[in-house]
Structure 1
Amino acid sequence: MPKEFDFDKEFENMMTSNKLDTVVLLGHINPDGDAAGSVMGLAHYIKVNYPQYEVLPYLADTIDKGPNKIIKTDKVFNPFEKPNVEGKKFAVIVCDNAVIVRMAGREYYEAATASMVIDHHASNEGYGNINYTKVSEACAENVFYILDKNSLEKATTLELHPTAADYIYLGIIQDTGGLARAKESTLYAVMTLQGIGVKHSDIMKTMHNDMLESLQKKALLLNKAFCVLDGKVAYVCVDQKESKEKEIRYEDIHPIAEILRDCEDIELSFTMYEEAENKWRCSFRSDGEWIDVNELLTPFGGGGHAAAAGLKKTTDDVEKLREAIFERIKDLRE
């Protein structure tokens, strides 16, 4: 398939025209598998194919448990250490991050001489000196398609696991629910990556992270689910008092929206979690067709994809916020 964006050409031009020898790679806060896979895949690709540059990937240490299984075995990078760029001019590449305020390591972006953004969110702000945003199932899928395949194979054969290809595969698997939401382009990407050495079974281990305690927490949370709007919408809400009493973390409640969305009788699901007093973090899931959750959340300051989006809101009246969301759902459905 032809490339719509030539990463190698754009990257070399950015580095040479600005006379830079260092590049920092960033993702979003609370990085998921797609952010981690995109950042680390590009980091390994650049390190092998452009040894003249210092490569410094950075991921916040609040990363999801699954992708961390692979990152902690990385023999080249420790992306949880903040890069030391004191006295240097450098470029920044940002992956899987739609809006600047959600960027992990934003201070590096603001201090960079040049910047490139690679994303897949419809809500991308268009920031950066170079911005390649294409709506797709995973940012890592976009990364796969913009790279030179011979150079990607080189980066895979010259390093031990995890390689650039392993990380890109990780991002695709994580953001498509283990290929449950894969399209033809997604399947072509994973087949090609398998062809150059990625072991599907190894990467799939990052999808399975439950222990008995976490399953018990899920059962507790699912028992709290409410159904509204003719039973088509389900939600779970946990305030700070309950989260402390029952030791419920955001990592416990985050998967619940996806579990509920996958129920045959549920069209839209969401979770509401009070991280700090009056500070709510919400996750929304749908099939992207019954309702576009990115469009749903735009008036509230949230966003993401048609089928998966998030919202952070400061409010002392979560009931009022929830009712406003219900009204917005009704308006969009009409």
Structure 2
Amino acid sequence: MTKEFNEIMHEINEAETIIIHRHVRPDPDAYGSQLGLKNYLKLKYPNKKIYAVGEAEPSLDFIGTFDEISDDVYDEALVIVCDTANSPRISDERFNKGRLLVKIDHHPAVDQYGDINYVNDQASSTSEIIFDFIVHFNDVSIIDETVARVLYLGIVGDTGRFLFNNTTPHTMNVASQLLKFPFNHNEVLNKMGEKNPKLLPFQGYVLQHFDLNDKGFCKVVITKEVLEQFDIAANQASLFVNAIADIQGLKIWVFAVDEGSEIRCRIRSKGIIINDIASDFGGGGHQNASGVSVRDWEHFEKLAEALNHKL
């Protein structure tokens, strides 16, 4: 940790412009780590130009907003990518236009695309790593509730409100330190859990149309026709990947949504390694939470068969 953290901070010290990216289809940890790092660095270096870029996810607008910058801003800039395992998933393809590229992540190290790479796959989230980065440089005293709030939401998001097995004693210690800052954590957690009322009929559909076998494997199939029936977008449907997580006997599940050009499959498990299967099909992720895209329903069935074979 010490070596890479020091190398990253050296480059931050040297840079006049810093541009922070994260992955497409952002989740709370992508937002939290990216905006947490940006706001921390703005407090530490008020004279530097620091930007956070990428497409927004409307359901997460309450966490924060992003900057729109022109291509020339990348000239001689330091670019930092948070929470992104491989380069094709980086939001905003201009990430490679800067002077130097840094990767900070907690996914298994498959694609080390940065000039400097810091990966800790034992961390619950990249937001947890950003807090460790702040602590390493004795900077907790300079951060404020804005930094604490987004990092806390990132950790909460990637740990499933501390229910997932990536929650460690260190994770809880970090969360307890962030809760010392004066933001209303009940309010922001309620905000994170809110869903548009028009989505609830779709949730009912999911709860009535899951396919669970006697081994504990379950699949949920959301076709274009289902999306049209409930008038929701693919990214809204994905919010319900864990809607069936409490089913008794459930061990592995895949939530597949037809996004038009591809079928996006979100894979989850309870204590069973599934990212090897995701990798075999061109995807990746954590041991118990991974994703992969397949080109048609025939290939989806092959993925489902491979996951079922795990059991």
TM-score surpassing 0.5?
yes
Q: 2:96 maps to which residue?
A: 110
- C-alpha contact (below 8 Å) 1:27/1:94 kept by paired residues: yes
**Shift of residue 166, structure 1, vs aligned partner:** 1.2
The aligned counterpart of 2:168 is 183
Partner of 1:249: 233
2:7 maps to amino acid: E
**CA distance, structure 1, for counterparts of residue 110 and residue 155 of structure 2:** 19
Matches within 5 A, 1:1-334: 4=2, 7=5, 9-15=6-12, 20-61=15-56, 63=57, 65=59, 67-71=60-64, 78-79=65-66, 81-86=67-72, 88-107=75-94, 109-135=95-121, 136-148=123-135, 150-156=138-144, 163-181=146-164, 182-228=167-213, 230-277=214-261, 279-287=262-270, 289=271, 291-315=272-296, 318=297, 320-333=298-311
Cα–Cα, structure 1 residues 6 and 125, in superposed 2: closer, same or farther, change >3 Å? closer
TM-score when normalising by structure 1 = 0.85
User: Is the alpha carbon distance of 1:201 and 1:236 closer, same or farther for their aligned partners in structure 2, counting shifts above 3 Å?
Assistant: same
After superposition, give the CA deviation of every residue in 1:154-191 in whole Å (9 maximum; x if it has no partner).
121xxxx5x11111111001111112122211100011
* Aligned partner of residue 261 in structure 1, secondary structure: coil
- Tell whether the 8 Å contact from 1:38 to 1:95 is kept in structure 2 after alignment: yes
1:75 equivalent in structure 2: none
Label 1:168 to 1:325 Cα distance change in 2 as closer, same or farther (>3 A). same
Q: Deviations over 1:276-324 (max 9, x none)?
A: 15x211111112x2x2121121111011111111111223xx1x32332
Does structure 1 retain, via aligned residues, the 8 Å contact 2:77–2:99? yes
Query: CA contact under 8 A between 1:253 and 1:271: conserved in structure 2?
Result: no
* Unaligned residue ranges in structure 1 (runs of 5+): 72-77
| Cα distance in 1, alignment partners of residues 310 and 229 from structure 2 | 37
Q: Which SS does the other structure have where 1:89 is aligned?
A: coil
Which amino acid in structure 1 is aligned with residue 278 of structure 2? L
- So what's the TM-score if we normalise by structure 2? 0.90
SS in 2 for 1:258: coil
Segments of 5+ residues of structure 2 without an aligned counterpart are: none
Given that residues 4 and 116 in structure 2 are in contact (C-alpha distance below 8 angstroms), is that contact kept between their aligned partners in structure 1? no
Is the Cα–Cα contact under 8 Å of residues 31 and 63 in structure 2 kept in the other structure?
Answer: no
Once superposed, what is the RMSD of the aligned Cα atoms? 2.1
Q: How far apart in 2 are the matches of 1:303 and 1:269? A: 15
Residue pair 2:254, 2:304 contacting (<8 A) in 1 also: no
Residues matched between the structures, number: 306
In structure 2, C-alpha distance between the alignment counterparts of 1:5 and 1:218, rounded to whole Å: 47
Moved over 3 A (4+): 3-7, 196-199, 330-333
**1:322 and 1:255, CA in 2 relative to 1: closer, same or farther beyond 3 A?**
same
> Residue type of the partner of 2:304?
F
